[in-house]
A and B are shown apart, each in its own frame.
Chain A
Amino acid sequence: MLSRYIRLAVAIAAAASVATCASAEEPERKGIPAPPGHVFKTIISGYQFRSKETRALQDDDLENPGFLAVERAADAWKKVEGSEGKSCMSCHGEAETSMKGVGAAMPKWDDKLAKPVNLEQRINICRSEHMKAEPWKFKSRELTDMTTFVRYQSHGMPVAVKTDGPMSPWFERGKQTYYTRYGQLDLACASCHERNNGKFMRADFLSQGQTNGFPTYRLRDQRLVPLHERFEGCMFDVRAEPFKPLSDEFLALELYVAWRGIGLPVETPSVRN
């Protein structure tokens, strides 16, 4: 365990030193062809915008610090909690089979709630309704670990959200948010991630803002970051009042942005700057 942290520190230092000369590199970014009517011609994972060292860190399951969360949540999966005396496993059995593909198709329509729910919400619905346990707080290590673990069961599977039927007004709402300029800096998601992706912005290459790697291990935060926290961070940085994590606004945005990355392989737990 200790050697993993030491090697991580070395990898971070290497990634940082490479970032300084990254603009001199000729980046070759592989993507997948987008379906007809999509905003991009080629859909590119954030992985392609990162340095060789950061990518190597993600690719090695033993080195990738996100796997600590996967290991922790694999234990939590079996842990009985709540007044019903159940664990996740009591109903779902082995996650490796029952959760396969689940995380690739989120957010998903919930008939009972008559709205889309994402993975964090689905996990907490299970806890409060079926386990009769306390729901986990957003950003808690427990919830982010479990979200990572469940999404990891779809590793390599294509992002496949449904955007038609009852989802379509949510899709439109997310799209509107994506193109709205917010904050004192007056920037929309599209200002950076659609119009300027691939360009160097201070110490970083701007990506397409894809969600296929979330929750992602963020090197600067030294922990896994769930998607809505990143949405919050982006809005805060443009000096806007962010929407609340798990709000309808961010749910709609999550749906819309997932569609912008449709077909990309799930990379959770990914490693990013």
Chain B
Amino acid sequence: MRRSLMAAFALCLAAGSALAQEAVKEPIRLDVVDDSLPKSLTGAPGDAVAGKKVFLTRTLGNCLACHQVTSLKTEEFHGEFGPSLDGVAGRYTEAQLRLIVADPKRIFTDTVMPAFFKNDGLSRVRPEFVGKSILTAAQVEDVVAYLKTLN
């Protein structure tokens, strides 16, 4: 009896750890082709209006912390870390923009810009962010759609 209880307990533990493992998300793998990500991360086009919101929201893209955009001059405090994004749609293809947002270090190896769609290979990530990327696939697509409007 005692042995079977122990076995049942062990089984519970095993089931528990299996569940815990399921909770950890798989590392994101990007289909990089020639310094770009040709395929939509969601399989669908993004929404530029939603993308502008993600771009501006400090807990999401917070892109203005580092970049300047003339058409957003009503917004305060454009940063100087990164280049101006005026005309960025003319400088990069959609597929290149997607990789620059998702994981810019694949192209600009020394950049300080964070990868917005990467969830592993990072150091001492706060527990609430472990296994999570800064943006979701859909949010990346929305930001890319917004960047495409910056002609």
Which residues of A line the B interface, CB within 8 A? 20, 23, 180-187, 191-192, 195-196, 199-203, 235-236, 239-241
Contact = CB atoms under 8 A, between A and B. Distances in A.
4 pairs of A and B residues whose beta carbons are closest in the complex = A199-B80, A191-B112, A184-B129, A200-B80
B78 to A, nearest CB: 8
Interface in B85-144: 112, 114-115, 122-127, 129, 132, 134
B124 A241 contact: yes
Categorize the interface residue count of chain B.
20 to 34
B36 to A, nearest CB: 21
B122 A183 contact: yes
Contacts of B78: 200
Contacts of A180: 123
Nearest to A191: B112
Given A195-B112, A196-B112, A183 B81 contact: no
Contacts of A235: 124
A28 B115 CA distance: 34
A173 to B, nearest CB: 15
Would you call the interface of chain B mostly helix, strand, loop, or mixed?
Answer: loop
Contact of A239 (B79, B115, B129): B129
B126 A183 contact: yes
B76 interface: yes
Nearest to B123: A182
Nearest to B114: A185
Contacts of A185: 114, 134
B99 to A, nearest CB: 16
Given A185-B114, A191-B112, A195-B112, A202 B125 contact: no
A240 B112 contact: no
Contacts of B125: 183-184, 239-241
B69 interface: no
B94 to A, nearest CB: 24
B79 A202 contact: yes
Nearest to A204: B77
